[in-house]
Structure 1
């Protein structure tokens, strides 16, 4: 069973400036622009500490305690994380307030354990599953064992063991893991040849050496005996 989340505390500041220019200024100061909302409360615009936030959000379902000076702490989950496509930078975070005892729905990654039977291929068809749980008891992942699984084994969402207090939300018939037979080099080559034939792919014939040409006799012409 996957371990539960530890609570992560982030000391934040209220933002008073907005817009792209203000956001860039915050990032240069090692801060992450964020907005916190939920439970009918007015959205709070925050500046999160970059390093602590970056580390915390390596797990997108990390339970965060948002601490603002002079205000009550709020429990929150990251609803949306905007990241720079190239640089290791978080550009903006949407945080949603959660309450102890009130369940939330989140996506949790699937984690495989064990080794399938020899000469098989393990394919993960569903990288995540949607679950419902108390925010204090969200699992880091859902463990699926493939130990000794034979060719033809299909593991559906309904086959995945849920930790205590966790309910599956995804369709129970969702295919999570598919165990197939490992293809041999000969079979792969045959499949490739068949695919090329169906696609009308033609290969050039290998070049052959031209027949040797005998040199003419001296004098440039062949001579013949006369009677």
Structure 2
């Protein structure tokens, strides 16, 4: 089950963009707690604390106990906004968790057994199609991850949702979908390099003064010794 973490918050009286900007200038982050049959509560949180837990990872699957001016709320983050330029948190939404609550959560996938997989030993490549699984889980039993063992996978094998043992109390959020989660793809083949042109440009005369291949003979070429000169080519007949 996912670990519960603690955050401290204060009730926020003002609402709207102006009030939110004022909160940020004080080094705090505006947020809201909603759901569970109670009215929404506007809060502010420490910028440093929020920034730390967001970038620690798995923020949206972590349960928090928020102390709001002495009143404790058990919540899970549902959404958050980051500054598009500086990637600093701007706002956080939390959902109240009541006893018996079930919610829809994306649970991260962890791949194990890669060292023993026959397909990988033959040069195959792991292709993770889905890095998380959309599950319905109890608020009191949110798993940290779903482990998938690929130690027996050959090249071309794949594991679907129906092949995965889900944590106790969890079920797929969308029934009837049996999507692929991980495959072992064939090895990547290197593209053949084009053969380099090896023919060098011929010399004007060729080896030992011989005329280059295809070159026209000189007009004043002499006949070989002991023989007659080759007859000139007949002139073309006039039509």
* Matching of residue 209 in structure 1 with residue 196 in structure 2: no
Structure 1 residues 94, 189: closer, same or farther in 2, change over 3 A?
farther
1:121 aligns with 2:125: yes
Shift of 1:210: 6.5
Q: Distance in 1 between the 2:220 and 2:169 partners? A: 107
SS of corresponding position for 2:107: strand
Note the 1:194-205 alignment, pairs <5 A: none
Aligned to 1:197: none
Alpha carbons 1:126, 1:176 under 8 Å: kept: yes
CA distance in 1, matches of 2:82, 2:96: 21
> For 1:47-76, what per-residue CA distance to the aligned partner results, in whole angstroms no more than 9, with x for missing partners?
012222233333221101122125x42211
Kept after mapping to 2: 8 A contact 1:65/1:76: yes
**1:208 Cα shift?**
5.7
- Asked if 1:134 is matched to 2:138, the reply is yes
**Taking structure 2 as the reference length, what is the TM-score of the superposition?**
0.73
TM-align CA RMSD: 3.0
Name 2:166's counterpart in structure 1: 162
- Output aligned runs, 1:4-83, within 5 Å: 4-57=1-54, 58-59=57-58, 60-69=60-69, 72-83=71-82
Structure 1 unaligned regions, length at least 5: 194-204, 215-221
Match of 2:98 in 1: 99
Cα distance in 2 between the residues matched to 1:74 and 1:224: 108
Among 176, 181, 185, the residue aligned to 1:180:
185
Higher mean Cα deviation, 166-175 or 75-84? Answer: 166-175
Aligned residues: 202
Q: Which is higher, the Rg of structure 1 or of structure 2?
A: 2
Distance 1:63 1:109 in 2: 15
Q: Which residue of 2 aligns with 1:200?
A: none
Cα drift, residue 177 of structure 1: 0.5
Tell me whether 16-25 or 44-53 shows the greater mean CA deviation: 16-25
**Alignment deviations for residues 64-94 of structure 1 (CA, whole Å, 9 cap, x no partner):** 1122125x42211111111223434111111
Q: Where in structure 2 are there 5+ consecutive unaligned residues? A: 207-218, 223-239
Calculate the TM-score normalised by the size of structure 1.
0.76
Give, in angstroms, the shift of residue 206 of structure 1. Answer: 8.9
- The answer as to whether partners of 2:36 and 2:98 remain within 8 angstroms in 1 is no
